[in-house]
Structure 1
Amino acid sequence: MPMPPVPDLASLSLTDIARLAEENKLPPVDRWNPTHCGDSEMRIARDGTWFHQGAPIGRQAMVRLFSTILRREEDGSYVLVTPVEKLDIAVEDAPFVAVEMKAEGEGHAARLAFRLNTGDLVTAGHDHPLRFETREDGPRPYLHVRGGLDALVARPVYYELAAIALSGGDSPPGIWSDGAFFPLEPAA
Protein backbone atom coordinates (compact mmCIF):
# COMPACT_ATOMS: atom_id res chain seq x y z
CA MET A 1 0.00 0.00 0.00
CA PRO A 2 1.56 3.36 -1.00
CA MET A 3 2.16 6.02 1.64
CA PRO A 4 -0.10 9.10 1.32
CA PRO A 5 1.57 12.24 -0.02
CA VAL A 6 3.18 14.66 2.45
CA PRO A 7 0.67 17.46 3.08
CA ASP A 8 1.44 21.14 2.51
CA LEU A 9 1.25 22.61 6.01
CA ALA A 10 0.61 26.17 4.82
CA SER A 11 -2.60 25.15 3.04
CA LEU A 12 -4.12 23.37 6.06
CA SER A 13 -6.00 24.76 9.04
CA LEU A 14 -5.06 23.43 12.46
CA THR A 15 -8.41 21.61 12.52
CA ASP A 16 -7.39 19.87 9.27
CA ILE A 17 -3.99 19.07 10.75
CA ALA A 18 -5.54 17.55 13.89
CA ARG A 19 -7.88 15.42 11.75
CA LEU A 20 -5.03 14.19 9.53
CA ALA A 21 -2.88 13.36 12.57
CA GLU A 22 -5.76 11.37 14.09
CA GLU A 23 -6.33 9.48 10.82
CA ASN A 24 -2.66 8.51 10.58
CA LYS A 25 -2.94 5.08 12.14
CA LEU A 26 0.41 3.59 13.10
CA PRO A 27 1.34 -0.06 13.62
CA PRO A 28 0.99 -1.22 17.26
CA VAL A 29 4.77 -1.46 17.80
CA ASP A 30 4.31 -1.14 21.57
CA ARG A 31 2.49 -4.50 21.57
CA TRP A 32 5.01 -6.36 19.44
CA ASN A 33 7.67 -8.27 21.39
CA PRO A 34 9.64 -10.44 18.98
CA THR A 35 13.07 -11.84 19.68
CA HIS A 36 15.96 -9.43 19.11
CA CYS A 37 17.53 -10.31 15.75
CA GLY A 38 20.58 -8.03 15.58
CA ASP A 39 21.57 -4.73 14.03
CA SER A 40 19.67 -3.09 11.16
CA GLU A 41 22.90 -1.38 9.99
CA MET A 42 20.82 1.80 9.95
CA ARG A 43 21.46 5.18 11.54
CA ILE A 44 19.49 8.40 11.90
CA ALA A 45 21.81 11.42 11.81
CA ARG A 46 21.22 14.53 13.92
CA ASP A 47 19.84 16.34 10.86
CA GLY A 48 17.21 13.61 10.37
CA THR A 49 18.91 11.85 7.46
CA TRP A 50 18.44 8.09 7.52
CA PHE A 51 21.39 5.91 6.48
CA HIS A 52 21.70 2.20 5.67
CA GLN A 53 25.18 0.65 5.61
CA GLY A 54 26.67 4.16 5.54
CA ALA A 55 24.71 5.46 2.53
CA PRO A 56 21.76 7.86 2.81
CA ILE A 57 18.35 6.35 2.12
CA GLY A 58 17.24 8.37 -0.90
CA ARG A 59 13.62 7.26 -1.12
CA GLN A 60 11.54 9.37 1.26
CA ALA A 61 8.75 6.78 1.12
CA MET A 62 11.15 4.20 2.60
CA VAL A 63 12.13 6.58 5.41
CA ARG A 64 8.46 7.26 6.16
CA LEU A 65 7.73 3.52 6.21
CA PHE A 66 10.65 2.72 8.53
CA SER A 67 9.66 5.59 10.83
CA THR A 68 6.30 3.89 11.48
CA ILE A 69 8.00 0.82 12.99
CA LEU A 70 10.51 2.73 15.11
CA ARG A 71 10.32 2.23 18.86
CA ARG A 72 12.31 3.43 21.86
CA GLU A 73 13.13 0.74 24.39
CA GLU A 74 13.06 1.13 28.19
CA ASP A 75 16.87 1.34 28.25
CA GLY A 76 16.78 4.35 25.87
CA SER A 77 17.92 2.45 22.78
CA TYR A 78 16.02 2.46 19.50
CA VAL A 79 14.78 -0.49 17.45
CA LEU A 80 12.87 -1.19 14.28
CA VAL A 81 10.22 -3.73 15.21
CA THR A 82 7.77 -5.95 13.36
CA PRO A 83 5.66 -8.80 14.72
CA VAL A 84 8.53 -11.22 13.94
CA GLU A 85 11.81 -9.32 14.35
CA LYS A 86 13.50 -6.53 16.25
CA LEU A 87 16.63 -4.78 14.97
CA ASP A 88 18.79 -2.09 16.58
CA ILE A 89 19.01 1.32 14.90
CA ALA A 90 21.45 4.07 15.93
CA VAL A 91 19.99 7.53 16.58
CA GLU A 92 22.45 10.42 16.97
CA ASP A 93 20.04 12.83 18.69
CA ALA A 94 16.30 12.50 18.08
CA PRO A 95 14.73 10.24 15.46
CA PHE A 96 12.65 13.04 13.92
CA VAL A 97 13.16 16.69 13.00
CA ALA A 98 10.36 19.28 13.17
CA VAL A 99 11.01 21.15 9.92
CA GLU A 100 7.96 23.40 9.64
CA MET A 101 5.49 25.07 12.02
CA LYS A 102 2.06 26.63 11.65
CA ALA A 103 0.63 28.83 14.40
CA GLU A 104 -2.96 29.92 14.97
CA GLY A 105 -4.28 32.10 17.77
CA GLU A 106 -2.38 33.94 20.49
CA GLY A 107 -1.55 33.49 24.16
CA HIS A 108 -3.59 30.80 25.95
CA ALA A 109 -5.64 30.22 22.78
CA ALA A 110 -2.60 29.50 20.57
CA ARG A 111 -2.14 26.20 18.77
CA LEU A 112 1.09 25.17 17.10
CA ALA A 113 1.32 22.35 14.58
CA PHE A 114 4.56 20.91 13.27
CA ARG A 115 5.45 18.94 10.16
CA LEU A 116 8.23 16.43 10.71
CA ASN A 117 10.89 15.41 8.21
CA THR A 118 8.90 12.20 7.73
CA GLY A 119 5.73 14.10 6.78
CA ASP A 120 3.99 13.38 10.09
CA LEU A 121 1.92 16.18 11.64
CA VAL A 122 2.00 16.85 15.39
CA THR A 123 0.17 19.54 17.38
CA ALA A 124 2.05 20.62 20.50
CA GLY A 125 0.05 20.27 23.70
CA HIS A 126 -0.31 18.14 26.81
CA ASP A 127 0.14 14.88 24.83
CA HIS A 128 2.92 16.34 22.67
CA PRO A 129 4.92 18.69 24.91
CA LEU A 130 7.74 20.95 23.84
CA ARG A 131 10.88 21.02 25.95
CA PHE A 132 13.99 23.15 25.74
CA GLU A 133 17.43 21.90 26.75
CA THR A 134 20.60 23.93 27.03
CA ARG A 135 23.79 22.24 25.86
CA GLU A 136 27.34 23.38 25.20
CA ASP A 137 26.53 24.07 21.54
CA GLY A 138 23.39 26.07 22.39
CA PRO A 139 19.70 25.51 23.00
CA ARG A 140 18.03 22.34 21.79
CA PRO A 141 14.24 22.37 21.50
CA TYR A 142 12.37 19.07 21.26
CA LEU A 143 8.78 18.06 20.54
CA HIS A 144 7.44 14.78 21.92
CA VAL A 145 6.03 12.75 19.02
CA ARG A 146 4.95 9.39 20.49
CA GLY A 147 6.07 6.56 22.76
CA GLY A 148 9.37 8.07 23.90
CA LEU A 149 10.19 9.36 20.42
CA ASP A 150 11.04 13.05 20.04
CA ALA A 151 11.66 15.47 17.21
CA LEU A 152 14.51 17.94 17.35
CA VAL A 153 13.04 21.31 16.34
CA ALA A 154 15.04 22.62 13.36
CA ARG A 155 16.90 25.88 13.99
CA PRO A 156 14.67 28.07 11.74
CA VAL A 157 11.55 26.73 13.48
CA TYR A 158 13.19 27.33 16.88
CA TYR A 159 13.70 30.99 15.91
CA GLU A 160 9.96 31.22 15.14
CA LEU A 161 9.20 29.71 18.57
CA ALA A 162 11.59 32.11 20.29
CA ALA A 163 9.95 35.12 18.58
CA ILE A 164 6.50 33.93 19.74
CA ALA A 165 7.77 33.34 23.28
CA LEU A 166 9.49 36.71 23.56
CA SER A 167 6.47 38.61 22.21
CA GLY A 168 4.01 36.81 24.50
CA GLY A 169 4.73 38.74 27.69
CA ASP A 170 4.86 35.63 29.90
CA SER A 171 7.37 35.35 32.71
CA PRO A 172 9.34 33.23 32.15
CA PRO A 173 9.03 33.52 28.36
CA GLY A 174 7.37 30.49 26.85
CA ILE A 175 5.09 28.97 24.28
CA TRP A 176 1.37 28.25 24.60
CA SER A 177 -0.18 25.52 22.47
CA ASP A 178 -3.46 23.67 22.83
CA GLY A 179 -3.88 24.88 26.44
CA ALA A 180 -0.39 23.93 27.62
CA PHE A 181 2.49 26.28 28.48
CA PHE A 182 6.11 25.40 27.72
CA PRO A 183 8.80 27.67 29.20
CA LEU A 184 11.53 28.58 26.73
CA GLU A 185 14.28 28.04 29.30
CA PRO A 186 14.72 24.64 30.96
CA ALA A 187 13.84 24.40 34.65
CA ALA A 188 16.84 25.01 36.93
Structure 2
Amino acid sequence: MPYDVPPDLNALTLSQAAELVAARKLPPVSQWSPAVIGDSEMRIAADGRWFHQGGEIRRPAMVRAFASLLLRDDRGRHWLVTPAEKLSIEVEDAAFIATDVRAEGDALVFRLNTDDLVIAGPDHPIRSHGDPETPAIYLSVRNGTEARLNRSTYGQLAEIALAGGDLSVTSRGATFDLVPA
Protein backbone atom coordinates (compact mmCIF):
# COMPACT_ATOMS: atom_id res chain seq x y z
CA MET A 1 0.00 0.00 0.00
CA PRO A 2 1.56 3.35 -1.00
CA TYR A 3 2.06 6.04 1.61
CA ASP A 4 0.51 9.39 0.72
CA VAL A 5 2.02 12.33 2.58
CA PRO A 6 -0.80 14.55 3.84
CA PRO A 7 -0.92 18.23 2.90
CA ASP A 8 0.95 20.87 4.88
CA LEU A 9 -0.86 21.67 8.12
CA ASN A 10 -0.89 25.41 7.36
CA ALA A 11 -2.64 24.73 4.05
CA LEU A 12 -5.60 23.04 5.78
CA THR A 13 -8.70 24.72 7.11
CA LEU A 14 -10.15 23.43 10.36
CA SER A 15 -12.95 21.68 8.49
CA GLN A 16 -10.45 20.01 6.13
CA ALA A 17 -8.37 18.84 9.12
CA ALA A 18 -11.51 17.51 10.81
CA GLU A 19 -12.46 15.64 7.61
CA LEU A 20 -9.00 14.02 7.46
CA VAL A 21 -9.29 12.97 11.12
CA ALA A 22 -12.76 11.49 10.53
CA ALA A 23 -11.68 9.71 7.35
CA ARG A 24 -8.86 7.84 9.08
CA LYS A 25 -10.30 4.43 9.84
CA LEU A 26 -8.43 3.14 12.89
CA PRO A 27 -8.71 -0.40 14.23
CA PRO A 28 -10.91 -0.76 17.34
CA VAL A 29 -7.98 -1.89 19.53
CA SER A 30 -9.75 -0.93 22.77
CA GLN A 31 -12.51 -3.46 21.94
CA TRP A 32 -10.18 -6.40 21.34
CA SER A 33 -9.28 -8.87 24.11
CA PRO A 34 -6.78 -11.30 22.59
CA ALA A 35 -5.81 -14.40 24.57
CA VAL A 36 -2.16 -14.35 23.50
CA ILE A 37 -0.01 -11.86 25.43
CA GLY A 38 3.69 -11.39 24.73
CA ASP A 39 6.52 -8.97 24.00
CA SER A 40 6.85 -7.19 20.67
CA GLU A 41 10.59 -6.60 21.15
CA MET A 42 9.85 -3.06 20.01
CA ARG A 43 10.73 0.31 21.54
CA ILE A 44 9.69 3.89 20.86
CA ALA A 45 12.55 6.21 21.77
CA ALA A 46 11.95 9.55 23.46
CA ASP A 47 12.68 11.29 20.15
CA GLY A 48 9.84 9.35 18.42
CA ARG A 49 11.98 6.83 16.51
CA TRP A 50 10.75 3.21 16.46
CA PHE A 51 13.01 0.19 16.94
CA HIS A 52 12.55 -3.56 16.61
CA GLN A 53 15.16 -5.87 18.11
CA GLY A 54 17.56 -2.92 18.24
CA GLY A 55 17.22 -1.92 14.58
CA GLU A 56 15.40 1.28 13.62
CA ILE A 57 12.16 0.99 11.65
CA ARG A 58 12.68 3.57 8.90
CA ARG A 59 9.60 3.09 6.73
CA PRO A 60 6.99 5.75 7.67
CA ALA A 61 4.15 3.51 6.47
CA MET A 62 5.26 0.71 8.84
CA VAL A 63 5.50 3.10 11.80
CA ARG A 64 2.09 4.52 10.93
CA ALA A 65 0.58 1.01 10.74
CA PHE A 66 2.06 -0.05 14.09
CA ALA A 67 1.01 3.27 15.66
CA SER A 68 -2.61 2.58 14.72
CA LEU A 69 -2.47 -0.53 16.95
CA LEU A 70 -1.21 1.23 20.10
CA LEU A 71 -3.01 1.25 23.41
CA ARG A 72 -1.86 2.42 26.86
CA ASP A 73 -3.51 0.70 29.81
CA ASP A 74 -4.49 2.11 33.21
CA ARG A 75 -1.08 1.15 34.61
CA GLY A 76 0.73 3.17 31.93
CA ARG A 77 1.97 0.16 29.92
CA HIS A 78 1.88 0.39 26.15
CA TRP A 79 0.66 -2.46 23.94
CA LEU A 80 0.39 -3.32 20.27
CA VAL A 81 -3.03 -4.95 19.98
CA THR A 82 -4.50 -7.10 17.22
CA PRO A 83 -7.49 -9.43 17.42
CA ALA A 84 -5.03 -12.33 17.94
CA GLU A 85 -2.26 -10.84 20.12
CA LYS A 86 -1.48 -8.20 22.72
CA LEU A 87 2.25 -7.44 22.68
CA SER A 88 4.03 -5.10 25.07
CA ILE A 89 6.05 -2.25 23.61
CA GLU A 90 8.58 -0.15 25.50
CA VAL A 91 7.88 3.57 25.29
CA GLU A 92 10.60 5.81 26.71
CA ASP A 93 8.43 8.94 27.06
CA ALA A 94 5.35 9.29 24.85
CA ALA A 95 4.17 7.13 21.97
CA PHE A 96 4.00 10.11 19.61
CA ILE A 97 5.72 13.45 19.03
CA ALA A 98 3.66 16.53 18.14
CA THR A 99 5.66 18.20 15.36
CA ASP A 100 3.43 21.14 14.40
CA VAL A 101 0.40 23.08 15.63
CA ARG A 102 -2.01 25.46 13.97
CA ALA A 103 -4.66 27.63 15.56
CA GLU A 104 -7.85 28.30 13.66
CA GLY A 105 -10.90 29.82 15.23
CA ASP A 106 -11.50 28.08 18.53
CA ALA A 107 -9.37 25.02 17.75
CA LEU A 108 -5.76 23.87 17.90
CA VAL A 109 -4.81 21.23 15.33
CA PHE A 110 -1.63 19.22 15.91
CA ARG A 111 0.33 17.12 13.43
CA LEU A 112 2.14 14.11 14.90
CA ASN A 113 5.33 12.41 13.77
CA THR A 114 3.09 9.73 12.22
CA ASP A 115 1.30 12.41 10.14
CA ASP A 116 -1.85 11.92 12.22
CA LEU A 117 -3.85 15.05 12.96
CA VAL A 118 -5.33 15.62 16.41
CA ILE A 119 -7.66 18.48 17.35
CA ALA A 120 -7.14 19.41 21.01
CA GLY A 121 -10.22 19.73 23.20
CA PRO A 122 -12.17 17.86 25.87
CA ASP A 123 -11.56 14.50 24.14
CA HIS A 124 -7.90 15.32 23.44
CA PRO A 125 -6.68 17.42 26.38
CA ILE A 126 -3.29 19.09 26.69
CA ARG A 127 -1.43 18.55 29.96
CA SER A 128 1.63 20.24 31.41
CA HIS A 129 4.21 18.19 33.23
CA GLY A 130 7.65 18.85 34.66
CA ASP A 131 8.36 22.20 36.28
CA PRO A 132 8.15 25.83 35.09
CA GLU A 133 11.84 25.85 34.10
CA THR A 134 11.70 22.56 32.13
CA PRO A 135 8.10 21.96 31.13
CA ALA A 136 6.94 18.97 29.13
CA ILE A 137 3.65 19.41 27.31
CA TYR A 138 1.59 16.39 26.24
CA LEU A 139 -1.47 15.95 24.04
CA SER A 140 -3.88 13.05 24.49
CA VAL A 141 -4.05 11.13 21.21
CA ARG A 142 -6.17 7.93 21.43
CA ASN A 143 -6.55 4.76 23.46
CA GLY A 144 -4.69 6.31 26.40
CA THR A 145 -1.64 7.28 24.33
CA GLU A 146 -0.07 10.71 24.28
CA ALA A 147 2.16 12.90 22.12
CA ARG A 148 4.88 15.04 23.62
CA LEU A 149 5.26 18.42 21.95
CA ASN A 150 8.71 18.86 20.45
CA ARG A 151 10.60 22.09 21.14
CA SER A 152 9.40 23.98 18.07
CA THR A 153 5.77 22.94 18.58
CA TYR A 154 5.98 24.01 22.23
CA GLY A 155 7.35 27.36 21.01
CA GLN A 156 4.46 27.71 18.55
CA LEU A 157 1.95 26.90 21.29
CA ALA A 158 3.59 29.39 23.68
CA GLU A 159 3.29 32.10 21.00
CA ILE A 160 -0.42 31.29 20.60
CA ALA A 161 -0.87 31.46 24.38
CA LEU A 162 1.04 34.76 24.73
CA ALA A 163 -1.03 36.29 21.93
CA GLY A 164 -4.02 35.57 24.15
CA GLY A 165 -2.41 37.35 27.08
CA ASP A 166 -1.34 34.48 29.35
CA LEU A 167 0.18 31.01 29.35
CA SER A 168 -2.95 29.03 28.64
CA VAL A 169 -4.66 28.01 25.42
CA THR A 170 -8.24 27.19 24.54
CA SER A 171 -9.36 24.61 22.01
CA ARG A 172 -12.89 23.40 21.36
CA GLY A 173 -14.13 25.10 24.54
CA ALA A 174 -11.52 23.61 26.88
CA THR A 175 -8.75 25.70 28.44
CA PHE A 176 -5.32 24.22 29.13
CA ASP A 177 -2.64 25.79 31.32
CA LEU A 178 0.85 25.51 29.81
CA VAL A 179 2.70 26.09 33.09
CA PRO A 180 3.21 22.93 35.16
CA ALA A 181 1.74 23.13 38.66
- TM-score scaled by length of structure 2: 0.93
1:25 aligned onto 2:38 = no
Aligned to 1:81: 81
- Among the aligned pairs, what percent are the same residue? 54
Output the aligned Cα RMSD. Answer: 1.7
Partner of 2:179: 185
1:176 alignment partner in structure 2: 170
* Aligned residue among 147, 163, 170 for 1:167: 163
Q: Distance in 2 between matches of 1:24 and 1:49?
A: 22
**CA offsets per residue over residues 135-170 of structure 1, 9 Å max, x none?**
598110000011211000111010111122123124
Q: Given the alignment of the two structures, is residue 127 of structure 1 paired with residue 126 of structure 2, yes or no?
A: no
User: In structure 1, how many angstroms separate the alpha carbons of the residues matched to 2:175 and 2:155?
Assistant: 17
Contact 1:63 1:118 in 2 (8 A): yes
- Cα deviation, residue 180, structure 1: 1.3
Q: Counterpart in 2 of 1:59?
A: 59
Residue 48 of structure 2 corresponds to: 48
Q: Which moved more, 1:73-82 or 1:12-21?
A: 73-82
Instruction: After superposing the two structures, state which structure 1 stretch, 43-52 or 130-139, moved more.
Output: 130-139
List runs of 5+ in structure 2 lacking aligned partners: none
**CA distance in structure 2 between the aligned counterparts of 1:136 and 1:18, rounded to whole angstroms:** 32
- Cα distance in 2, alignment partners of residues 138 and 80 from structure 1: 31
**Per-residue deviation, 1:113:** 0.4
> How many angstroms does 1:2 deviate by?
4.5
C-alpha displacement at 1:74, in angstroms? 2.5
So what's the TM-score if we normalise by structure 1?
Answer: 0.90
